[in-house]
Structure 1
Amino acid sequence: MTSNLSFFIPIYCTHKGELGMAQPELKRELANRHVQLIAIGGTIGTGLFLGSGKAIEKAGPSIMITYLIVGIAVFFVMRALGELLLSKAGYQSFTDIAEDYLGSRVAFITGWTYWFCWIMTAMADVIAVGVYVQYWFDIPQWVPAIACLVVLLGLNLLTVKSFGELEFWFALIKVITILALIGLGVILLIIGFKTDAGSVTIRNLWEHGGFFPNGISGFLFSFQMVVFAYVGVELVGVSAAETADPEKNIPSAINKIPLRILFFYVGALFVLLCINPWTELSPAESPFVKTFTLVGIPIAAGIINFVVLTSAASACNSGMFSTSRILYNLSRNNQASPRLGKLNKNHVPGNSLFISTIVISVGALLSKLIPEQAFGIVTTISAICFIWVWGIVLICHIKYKKTRPDLQAKSKFKAPFTPAINYIVLTLFAGILIIMLFAGETRPALLCTPLWFILLVILYSIRSKKGKSNQA
């Protein structure tokens, strides 16, 4: 672990390795604008641009409530994570937190699980990049997919600032698109615009089967895709080790999450469903494309295809960043090969980046073999694994309050309504997993996912026995 001083000062930091040699540490090159846009980018992605069409099909207009409920739950997870990260100098990610409060076994499982769900998410996104490029160019989809990986790898190998700049512009494109949609929707509502699907009116929220057209069951079955939509919001925590002035930037980014949820998710969906009756939206296409097409913008499909392309590239970029940092931390905690803990001259975990990129590219090849089923399977498993990670954060916070009242008393960023809210959110997450068990689309992935955790328990046991043998 680093000293108190080195944790908060954005300089070239070092720590003593096993042989007493000074080792380079991650650099704090992410400025406040990078952290803010990483936070925005983490809450706007393929789950909104692509997954919202499928979620609307299940829940109808009540999907806005689903996004609101899950968004509030994720906010309390982030408040707990923020307090934990700032409670002790030296925390690089939530795996370090899990190590302190729940032991090395849980930290091992959580770290590798986080790596696993981002790998799977990146697989889907890089395949999506290939599909989107085919909209303009008639080339095999693996060509732009591999090209995207090579470009993102090169940029991530340079400096963490390159990652921050890339995410800044990716997120900016998403923000501008949603702002344009909301602004357009408000104007159409005011002037009473008419489309081929009918009038643009707030009555579209309840005039086509009611606010809950598919009943409570449809509302509940929409939770899985909505959970996936919020995947990535915790990147604020992953980037903590490379954030200049974390005591200022992390709380600022986390506290703005509720406003972003209301505006970018609930606000965008409100406008979409006022312009289009939910019955006119197809789960097979982006509701954003449909909306711009209905209002008579001829190049709408091309515009939105570009936005979705950058969104997929952004998600893949985030996946490469987070998986490399998780492998780095696992290595530093003796839970992965020591080689994965080495940094290049730019203070970037190059070996971890290469390994993650190779696995993502292999996964993209496999996903190509089952293109119709791959996305659904990957997103379900990813959502389940993220529920595990978020749950661990809440459990760690509960234990932190019980065992470290000294740190909690000094905290300048206390999570509100704890520990009661932690138990409420954990109950919600458990309920979502139960709902997945009853949905035919998500049940296979839910029943298969425990095999991953069983594998990790076995690997941890083998590694522990090997470590004890080496010590002996």
Structure 2
Amino acid sequence: MSTEKTAEPTTLHRGLRSRHIRFIALGSAIGTGLFYGSSEAIQAGGPAVLLAYLIGGAAVFLVLRSLGEMAVNHPCAGSFGEYATRYLGPFAGFSTGWTYAFEMVIVCIADVTALGVYMGFWFPDVPRWIWVLAAIGIIGVLNLFSVKVFGELEFWLSLVKIVAICAMIVGGLAILVFGLGGGEMHVGVSNLWSHGGFFAHGTEGLIMSFAVVMFAFGGTEVIGVTAGEAENPEKTIPSAVNSIPLRIVFFYVLTLAVLMSLNSWQDIGSDGSPFVQIFAGLGIKSAAAVLNVVVIVAALSAINSDIFAAGRIMYGMAERGQAPAVMRRLSRNGVPTMTVAIMIGALLLGVVLNYTMPENIFLIISSIATFATVWVWLMILASQYAARRKMPEQETAELAYKVPFWPYGQIIAMVFMAAVMVLLAFSADTRVALIVGAVWLALLSVVHFLWLRPRSAASGVAEFPTENPVETPAPARD
């Protein structure tokens, strides 16, 4: 009797199409950072925060192009962890992979925290942690379906967000041009410069806003994680990389410009989504309620993408022997169930934090996520730089998807990322991120040198991968 139906898969399924990958990346990046965290960035930099998003978006574009070059050349699961191992060394790959998983946990906690705040719009008397716990349970179940089902779900969740943002921009422009709506707020483009000037907090405010702005772009690197499950990665990855940064910059810059034109930037607080606050203040209550639904969908979408990404990066590390072998276990749908379970368990910490310190949690978590995100981006840039330097001229010429502005663009981007990490030290609220980051990297160092290296030496397994584990044909099963 054939056992084909009951045999467990040994590799991830390639079920993600180009539109899935685009919207997974959008779903991870256009979420809490825009709908909730943007208020923190606005308060830090004033209207000049628009420049910060443009500059930050340009740097992230170079990160994604660097990742795209490597992903097209060597598509694999948990890609940038393998690239760092291959081109920078075992510890670089180990720390990059686990820091990305750590980043996804922290970002998810920020997302579920924001979701709890959004629910307070309708249920102000219900404790936030209850909504956090419910969201974790729902998203955990959704991530156990096959990758194709996940891709379709994320496509539609992200589409809701994009349509809502476009509608918000059109509606906001209608209010500005035709004076629609009510309320007592002063509406006009002059809000961008009439309340303390465009650089309301000076150059220092612009610089300090990068600590929050870069958090907003976190998640775009999930494009590299999807390479192991992408159909025709040589086509889908470049298509996604080329479109994502421009779309995100467009959404962030134009959306926030409209928001700050509808109300003075000083009045955009953090008691809820600034999108909902704006329309509620303008007297458009029904629009505020609809937008609250949208930001809840946005948070769920971002959580969904982040759990997916963390699971795949841990799976890839297990393939390379940098994580426990149990993380390679796949369901019949080709889903790494153990990594999903680990993420759900880690996210329960968000329930505890929202119960014990609901007022201060978001800024602390977002700054820690910024450290982890920027570290991963720095490793991606350094990996691509090292890879290209070691590459023979003929192989370089044959690259199907080359990074632009080589090598000066990569060098400038790496300096920029290092500067963002230094910025975290200049604020008492974000300084904790450097402390947590230093402790985290120190812990990874201890684990690597006391556990991973001796184990690799004893087993005789090279720490550098010699082939793409996802591309290796699975052995026949009886």
Counterpart pick for 2:402 among 390, 395, 414? 414
- Higher mean alpha-carbon deviation, 190-199 vs 226-235, is at 190-199
- 2:417 pairs with 425, 429, 434, which one? 429
Alignment partner, residue 31 of structure 1: 17
CA deviations on 1:21-70 (whole Å, 9 max, x unpaired) are 99621111112221121232233111111111121112111010011110
The one-letter amino acid paired with 1:447 is: I
Is the 8 Å Cα contact of residues 224 and 383 (structure 1) preserved in structure 2? yes
Residue in 2 aligned with 1:9?
Answer: none
Alignment pair present for 1:100 and 2:93: no
SS of residue in 2 equivalent to 1:117: helix
Residue type of the alignment partner of 2:279: F
1:112 paired with 2:98, answer yes
In structure 1, the gaps of 5 or more residues are 1-11, 13-20
1:451 matches 2:439 = yes
State the partner residue of 1:5: none
Matches within 5 A, 1:243-282: 243-282=230-269
SS in 2 for 1:256: helix
In the other structure, the counterpart of 2:119 is 133
Aligned pair in 2 of structure 1 residues 127, 71: CA closer, same or farther (>3 Å)?
Answer: same
Find the counterpart in structure 2 of residue 158 from structure 1.
145
Check whether the contact 2:185–2:282 (CA below 8 A) recurs between aligned residues.
no
The two structures, once aligned, show a CA RMSD in angstroms of 2.2
Q: 1:184 is matched with which residue? A: 171
Q: CA deviation at 1:192?
A: 4.7
Structure 1 window deviating more from structure 2 (191-200 vs 85-94): it is: 191-200
- Contact 1:192-1:199 within 8 A present in 2 as well: no
Contact 1:80 1:397 survives alignment (8 Å): yes
Equivalent residue for 2:226? 239
Q: Which residue of 1 aligns with 2:298?
A: 311
Determine the C-alpha separation between the residues in 2 that align with 1:258 and 1:458: 36
- Could you report, residue by residue, the CA deviation over 1:346-387 in whole angstroms, capped at 9, with x for unpaired residues? 111111111221111234324421222222221111111111
Kept after mapping to 2: 8 A contact 1:133/1:144: yes
Q: 1:288 aligns with which of 275, 289, 307?
A: 275
Q: Distance in 1 between matches of 2:426 and 2:458?
A: 45
CA distance in 1, matches of 2:391, 2:96: 22
Q: How far does residue 139 in structure 1 lie from its aligned partner after superposition?
A: 4.6
Q: Do the aligned residues in 1 keep the contact of 2:78 with 2:97 (CA within 8 Å)?
A: no
CA contact (8 A) 1:87 1:407 kept: no
> Aligned runs of 1:78-97 on 2, under 5 Å?
78-90=64-76, 92-97=78-83
Q: Distance in 2 between the 1:252 and 1:471 partners?
A: 40
| Correspondence 1:386 to 2:373 | yes
SS of 2:220's equivalent?
coil
The answer to whether the 8 A contact 1:92-1:329 is kept is yes
- Secondary structure of the equivalent of 2:41? helix
User: Partner amino acid for 2:88?
Assistant: L
Question: Could you tell me which residue of structure 2 aligns to residue 465 of structure 1?
Answer: 454
Range 407-416 or range 452-461, more displaced: 407-416
Supply the distance in 2 between the matched residues of 1:462 and 1:362 (Cα, whole angstroms).
27
TM-score, scaled to structure 2: 0.89
Q: Judging changes above 3 Å, is the alpha-carbon distance between structure 1 residues 306 and 120 closer, same or farther for their aligned structure 2 residues?
A: same
* Contact kept? 1:192, 1:201, Cα under 8 Å: no
- Per-residue CA shift, 1:122-176, capped at 9, x if unaligned? 1232243344335445555444333322222222112012221221122112112
Instruction: Specify which of 328, 337, 359 is matched with residue 341 of structure 1.
Output: 328
| Letter of the structure 1 residue corresponding to residue 209 of structure 2 | S
Does structure 2 retain, via aligned residues, the 8 Å contact 1:68–1:266? yes
**Aligned mates of 1:127, 1:52 — CA distance in 2:** 15
In structure 1, C-alpha distance between the alignment counterparts of 2:303 and 2:363, rounded to whole Å: 17
Asked if 1:228 corresponds to 2:240, the answer is no
Q: What letter matches 1:101 in structure 2?
A: Y
Aligned to 2:195, the other structure's residue is in SS state coil
Q: What is the CA–CA distance in structure 2 between the aligned matches of 1:197 and 1:236, rounded to whole Å?
A: 44
* Counterpart secondary structure, 2:269: coil
Q: Which residue of 1 aligns with 2:162?
A: 175
Does structure 1 conserve the Cα–Cα contact (< 8 Å) formed by 2:112 and 2:132? yes
Q: Is the Cα–Cα contact under 8 Å of residues 194 and 200 in structure 1 kept in the other structure?
A: no
The farther-off stretch of 419-428 and 439-448 is 439-448
Aligned partners of 1:227, 1:447: CA distance in 2, in Å? 18
Q: Which residue of 2 aligns with 1:214?
A: 201
Give the residue type in structure 1 aligned to 2:54.
L
Q: Secondary structure at the match of 2:370?
A: helix
- Residue identity matched to 1:457: S
Corresponding position: 1:375 with 2:362:
yes
Give the 3-state SS of the residue equivalent to 2:254 in structure 1: helix
What is the alpha-carbon distance in structure 1 between the residues aligned to residue 75 and residue 310 of structure 2?
A: 22
State which drifts further: 449-458 or 280-289: 280-289
Distance 2:249 2:75 in 1: 33
Aligned to 2:307: 320
- Percent identity, please: 39
Normalising by structure 1, what TM-score? 0.90
**Count of residue correspondences:** 453
Task: Please report how far the alpha carbon of residue 419 of structure 1 lies from its aligned counterpart in structure 2 after TM superposition.
Answer: 1.2
2:119 aligned partner, one-letter code: V
Gaps of 5+ in 2: 462-478
